[in-house]
Chains A and B, each alone.
Chain A
Amino acid sequence: MSTEVTKYSGDVTYHEVNETVLSMLEKPTFGWYVLLLTCICTWVMGFGCWISMMIYGLGMTGLSHPIMWGVYITNFVFWVGIAHSGTLISAVLYLFRAKFRQPIYRLAEAMTVFAVMTAGLFPIIHVGRPWYAYWLMPVPNERALWPNFKSPLLWDVFAVSTYFTVSTTFFIVGLIPDIASARDKATSKFRKLLYGITSLGWTGNAKQYKNYVAAYLIFAALATPLVVSVHSVVSWDFAMSIIPGWHATIFPPYFVAGAIFSGVAMVITLVIPLRKVFKLERIITDFHFDAMCKLILLTSGVVTYAYVTEFYVAWFSNNMFERYQFWFRPFGEFKLAFWGMAFCNCMAPLTLWYKPFRTNIAYLFVMSIIINIGMWLERFNIIFTSLARDFIPAAWGGYNFSWIDVGITIGAFGWFGMWMTLFIKFFPSIAIVEVKEVIEAPVRDPHSSVHHH
């Protein structure tokens, strides 16, 4: 085996991959149950907060005039952002033939799907009358009323629902051959049935592979512009408005870069414990972390550039409202969020230029959490500061801290965690077939030219 291949996937054989990955699906441990229960309790708590909010009204949140969007939209953007790197790693890197993606992409995709499922809750939690949130869908109704397709929020509905559908499809399609592997190794009745149904009768014959791979490429090709568009559309929720600090053309690329930035960090956060618990060191190697760190460095640079540009534009435009807004961000009521963001997103990642840090797993784990906090603060910073100080000084206001906001925010992590926990125990979290793909196929005659067809 060539050293290059080893670099990508470790020194493993087909069988070892199969064994290692499928061993993750073995009988759950006590620790797994504790984790699952913790996650469930967390989101049930969050759900309780939401119920009380529905009963008493949105006054339970910290929102107020004029900060009409707050923690929920922050969370929404944060989770959509998290979702992005999954599709990025699976689709964009697929198109670029970046071979470090194989062992991590499944987890990243699962993260995408569950993060979108989490993100999708927030607009519903956020609206004043969630039971009418379906009015945003173009559902035929007796009132002959339709939604307004000129609204960025409706674009959002379409973008996020499309994103959810496509990324879920992509995710499930990728899972099919691996579930077939799991099916063939399954022992319990339940699992046999589960995998029997979900593998859709996949056998892995050559014709299936031909069409499957072709379709997969198209999915990747479709998902790539989608990644860019979804966060662009999310950014247009802000950029299409007239509010100083939001009304900016830089938002789409800025948001997309930020999304990748936070998403990769989240992947690292998830992969590190998984690798440790399931002893996947041979499949997920230092090489993969190194590659992801480089991606973080790149996107951190882009995001920092965007921050600086915002300030520059505000100064250069000579617009008093913009200028005030960008004075307010670092020195106003929410300055902690700004400086926290600047530290977490711009300064802390700079340490990754030093190579030993990039392969220090403990350091990376801490760093990835710092980045996640930083990216949450970024969204907080954009949403809160712009709304708090816009055109009419007499209408300026602040935000009231609320435990309901905190509860729902934490609950979302429980919701996400529950799906992730269930997923790693029931479905292969590492793409068996695709990892095998980057292992050179075993040949009897090493001089045979099969690989050069």
Chain B
Amino acid sequence: MKGQKVVVGVFTYLDDALKGIQVAKDNDKDYQVYAPTYVPALVHAVDSKRSKIAMISLTGGICGLIAGFALAILTGLDWPMRVSAKNIVSIPAYIVVGYEWTILWGALFTLNGMLLLCRIPNPFRKVGYDPRFSDDKYGVVIGCEPDQVDQIKEKLAHTGADEVMVKEGL
């Protein structure tokens, strides 16, 4: 987040928080929004683009499918042993492994993609975070230079924030 200082607005009501976001957008500032739960309206207001995670999962799934079949086929060919009258490479039997690994790799890629995109694990608290945001308050954090703090602060207060705080930025 650009800016040495951040202004943190704590909101009880969703519509107020949305107004707070509008403040940041209007002033062309970097901002961050915290919410106690997933609120589609809020997330949409911040970022309306679709998440890239699906592509990561798809990649994982395809890799898993290939890896699963490859594992079964290659290990089978490494020391070919006949069981019953079945072929050494018995594709119908290997579908299960391919299928399971599609899901496994898809899930693992999704997990890693999600961690990556959510920027976790991250041992550092994000600037302007307040424990109330995980309870029942919405938070709008706007980054700004020290000289703009008062201006932003005042604008946020007007949106109906319960409290407006100023904190150190990065």
Contacts and interface: CB of A to CB of B under 8 A. Distances in A.
Interface of A: 13-15, 18, 138, 144-150, 154-155, 158-159, 162, 165-166, 169-170, 173, 176-177, 180-181, 183-185, 200-215, 218-219, 222-223, 225-226, 229, 233, 236, 432-434, 436-437, 441-445, 448, 450-451, 453
A162 B136 contact: no
A204 B97 contact: no
A447 to B, nearest CB: 10
Contacts of A207: 46-47, 117-118
Nearest to B77: A146
Interface in B64-104: 71-72, 75-76, 78-79, 81, 83, 86, 90, 93-94, 96-97, 99-101, 103-104
A275 B79 CA distance: 56
A441 B16 CA distance: 12
Contacts of B14: 441-443, 450
B165 to A, nearest CB: 16
B107 A206 contact: no
B35 A444 contact: no
A204 B36 CA distance: 7
Contacts of B110: 215, 218-219, 222
B51 interface: yes
Interface of B: 12-16, 18, 32-47, 50-51, 53-54, 57, 61, 71-72, 75-76, 78-79, 81, 83, 86, 90, 93-94, 96-97, 99-101, 103-104, 106-108, 110-111, 113-115, 117-126, 129, 131-136, 160
Contact of B107 (A177, A184, A219, A436): A219
A444 B136 contact: no
A183 B104 CA distance: 30
B37 A162 contact: no
Given A15-B135, A176-B120, A450-B15, A206 B97 contact: no
A165 B107 contact: yes
Contacts of A450: 14-15, 18, 41
Given A212-B114, A453-B44, A162 B100 contact: yes
Contacts of A453: 40-41, 44-45
B116 to A, nearest CB: 9
Nearest to B81: A148
Contact of A149 (B76, B114, B120, B122): B76
26 contacts: A18-B36, A146-B75, A148-B83, A149-B75, A155-B100, A159-B100, A166-B107, A185-B135, A200-B121, A201-B126, A203-B126, A203-B133, A204-B35, A205-B34, A205-B126, A207-B118, A208-B119, A210-B43, A212-B114, A214-B51, A222-B110, A223-B107, A229-B96, A229-B99, A229-B103, A443-B15
Contacts of A150: 83, 86, 90, 93-94
A202 B131 contact: no
A334 B115 CA distance: 52
A211 B57 contact: no
Nearest to B44: A453
B123 to A, nearest CB: 6
A39 B79 CA distance: 46
A158 B96 contact: yes
Contacts of A208: 118-120
B120 A206 contact: no
Contacts of B93: 149-150
Contacts of B34: 203-206
Contacts of B114: 173, 211-212, 215
B108 to A, nearest CB: 7
Contacts of B37: 14, 177, 204, 432-434, 436-437, 441
A165 B81 CA distance: 31
A443 B132 CA distance: 17
A138 B75 contact: yes
Contacts of B121: 200-201
B100 A229 contact: yes
A214 B53 contact: yes
Given A155-B96, A181-B134, A206 B42 contact: yes
